[in-house]
Every structure is written in C-alpha cells, then in structure tokens.
Amino acid sequence: MTDWMKAAQADAALMDDFRAICAFGGRMSGSGQDDAAMDWALGRLAEGAGQAARLAVPYDGWRCLSSGLELLEGGQAVPLACRPLLRSASTGPDGLVATVLDLGLGRPDDFARAAGEIAGKIVLVRHEYPFSPGHLHRRRKYDMAVAAGAAGFLIANPLPRAGVLSGSSGRPRGGAGIPAAYIDAESAQRLAQAAPGARARLRIEGQEIPDAQAAVGIYDLPGGRDSRVVISAHVDGHDLGASALDNATGVAVALAAARLLAPRVGPSTPGLRVCLFCAEEWALAGSARYLADLPPQERARLKVDINLDTVAGDTSLTALISGFAGLEPLVARSAHAAGVPVGTWLPLMPNSDHANFAKHGIPALRLVAGFDKPASRVNRILSAGDVPAIIEEAELRQALAVTAAMADAALAMSDVELDGLAAPGA
C-alpha cells in the first residue's frame, strides 16, 4: 500500500464528513440548504492552519412555483411526470398546448433532418449519460430547440423506473427561451406511442429572484511563494435526492485532502487554496463570477485546479484535463504514487467548475468516477437515486489518495514548471 493510500485509509473523518454533507439535503442553490452546508464546510476547514472566508456572488436566481404536463388524446387529458429545468421560461396560466415532435436523442443530425417541422412544436429528446466521449449536454439540445423555433422542450430520462431528472436550461435572465422540462422514461414512451398529431399541454410557472446570491467558500493556506495550487468542489446540488454523488463526494474529499496536505505546505512550496462553490448546477455560475471578479494579478497566482466532482460511484477514476496536455504526465505520476489507476481525457468537457478555470488559461482537470461507464452507479446523478447508500467507502478513499498525490506533486513543482503546464503544445 502506498503512503498516500495509507494516509487516505487513516483519515477517520472522511465518511463522517460525507454523511454530514448529505444530511443537509439536496442543497439546491437558493434553498438555504446550500448556505448551511457551506457554513459547515468552512467551519471544518477553519479548524486547520489556513484562513477561511465566505464570499457571495450574484447569479440568476429562479424558482418553480407550479408545473404540469398532460397528453391530450381521445378527448382525455392524461397526466405525465415532469420537472421544469432550472430557469425555464413560463407558459402562462393556461399552459402551452402543441404537438409533440420526437427527435430521438436530439443530436444535431436529428434537428437537421426535422428542420422544417420543429417550429411551433414541443420537441422531445433524451438525456445522455454525461461522462462519456460522445455526450451532448442538455443545454446544447435546448439551445438547438430554441434556435429552430420550437415552442417547448422536453428531455427524458432514458432509464426506466428511475423518475425524472433535474438540471438547468442555462437561460440567462432576460434571455430568449422556451418552456422546458425533464420527464421520465415512461412518459416519453407514452408520448412517442401517441397517435400522430397528438398534442400535449405543458404548464410552467416560474419566478425570477433578482437579488440571488451564491456562496463561495475560500480556504487559503499560504506557502513560501505567492502561487497557489487549487482544489475545488461544488457544494450545491439538486433536491430530488441528497446529491451524494454530485457532489458530497467531492466536498468530503476536498476537506480531507486539505487535512492531509497541510503538513506538505511550507517555505519552499506554493500555497494551497480550497475553493468551494455554489450555483454550479446553474450553468457553473458561482465559479464563473468568482474567477471573473478576481484581479488579474490574483488570478495569475492560481497555477493549477484539481476539481473534484462525482469522485465515487464506480471503481474507475478519470481526469478530464481540459485540453492541457501537460497535465497528463502529472496525472500519471500521481496515479502511480497513489497506487490507483487513473485514465485521462484530453478534450475540454465543460461539465463542472474546472471549465471556468480553463477558460482563464489556468490548467484544470476534473476528477470523476465512472467515465464512459453508463451502467455504473454514477448514472444516478441528477435523480432521486443520488443518495448516500450508493457510495462505497473504498471509492472515496481512493479518490482521496489520488487527489492528495496530485496536489502534492504540484506543490513540489517550481513556478516555472507549473507555468509549463499551460504552455501551448505541452
């Protein structure tokens, strides 16, 4: 057993922290659960030698007041399951009545084939397992529906008996948009099998929250140099389940990694910064605003970001390295040091807060479990099945060993070497 795995096994608080985070509930931004969980996490970090601070950044807040979906067929209104996407456009009190057009997966070629039929229809597409090479995000599908003139948008969970999912439309305040909702697999099948020309009524009443604030937690442990190695994770989630996978796993590992790494930060190393974000599930809004608001010289001190998001749920781990080829050898060395195999995926996948670091030129990776394994327990994310019982302790501990090994390797690098991680063609 490697030294980092021994350290991960010896951290007595890891599972207690994980369960404590889940106990706050799904932690939807704006629910109050996110704020309470953030305060708790910062309290845990403040037990260390660094400085903990709570910031607040604005985001486009919104809440659903009511919703419903019905299939109108044969003179009957058959109720179907639905859950509006965050920041969906509203329909008005009488709802939107329109023909449903089934576009299968809802990929660009599906939209292209039906280009002349989409306007004025409610488009039906399918959710895809988000951690796979060919994944197309729901917001891309939603944006294509808006651009094609669809009147509404439905996205179905493809897994039977798994209920609806939860996610964001990404529609900004004041931006163009259409009523949009997740539905379950059974409702999608009912709509797909309906008689040609059958119509549906979608009703969504949403409310803007103009002064919404998302919490950002910062824990800074200075070293002997101004540069910083960053470990990040998002605290917020969805309220269908307990957001255990996504992302109590990442937060618990970030807290434990800070404990393990504190003795490694010293006069010759960069400092360590832990960034905890809310409003990640709202199109990555919290980290986007935090990074944009940093003075350029402060942002330049951030040399690498190790983002932890859904780091359990399967025994396999992959580092999504955001186009920074120089991160691949760092991951390989760290995986060897941890004694845990870790794959890499080079292209940028903008599916967590690492993407906002990468947009600012900061080498960034996302550590994720179950990459390209749609049958893994990771497929419970965004659903009512995202609960603590599906998390294996051994998976959390191997994620902790890998995280600590990666951060430790970065702490041992000179600033010139750290800057080299971002060099073109590295």
Task: Categorize the per-residue pLDDT at 75 as very low, low, confident or very high, splitting at 50, 70 and 90.
Answer: confident
Fold match between domain 3-57+213-420 and domain 71-209: no
pLDDT value of residue 43:
98
| Residue 173 pLDDT greater than 90, yes or no | no
CA angle 347, 147, 353 (to 5 degrees): 35
* Complete edge-to-edge strand list for the sheet that includes strand 228-234: 51-58, 213-221, 271-277, 228-234, 302-308, 364-369, 317-320, 342-345
Segment 128-144 shows an average pLDDT of 96
pLDDT at 355 over 70: yes
Is the per-residue pLDDT at 189 higher than 90? yes
**What pLDDT does 426 receive?**
46
Determine the topology of domain 71-209 in CATH.
Answer: Glucose Oxidase; domain 1 (3.50.30)
pTM, two decimals, is 0.97
**Res 65 pLDDT > 60:** yes
CATH numeric code, 3-57+213-420: 3.40.630.10
The span from the CA of 34 to the CA of 191, in Å, is 36
* CA distances from residue 326 to 210, 322, 366, 412, 426 in whole angstroms, order as listed: 41, 10, 15, 16, 5
Can you give the pLDDT at residue 198?
Answer: 83
Domain locations in the chain?
Answer: 3-57+213-420, 71-209
Look at residue 425 in the predicted model and tell me its pLDDT.
54
User: H-helix or E-strand containing 369?
Assistant: strand 364-369
Give the residue-averaged pLDDT of 343-365.
97
First to last CA, the chain: 32
Report the percent of the chain where pLDDT is more than 70: 99
- Find out whether 274 and 404 touch, Cβ atoms under 8 Å: no
pLDDT at 175: 85
Percent of the chain, pLDDT > 90? 96
Is a pLDDT exceeding 90 seen at residue 276?
yes
Mean pLDDT of the chain: 96
Q: Quick one: tokens of 289?
A: 């605003």
Position 267 pLDDT exceeds 70: yes
pLDDT over 90 at 195, yes or no: no
Q: pLDDT (tens digit, 9 = 90+) per residue, 210-222?
A: 999 999 999 999 9
Q: Does 363 score more than 50 pLDDT?
A: yes
Looking at 127-260, which runs of residues are DSSP E strands? 152-156, 180-183, 199-209, 213-221, 228-234
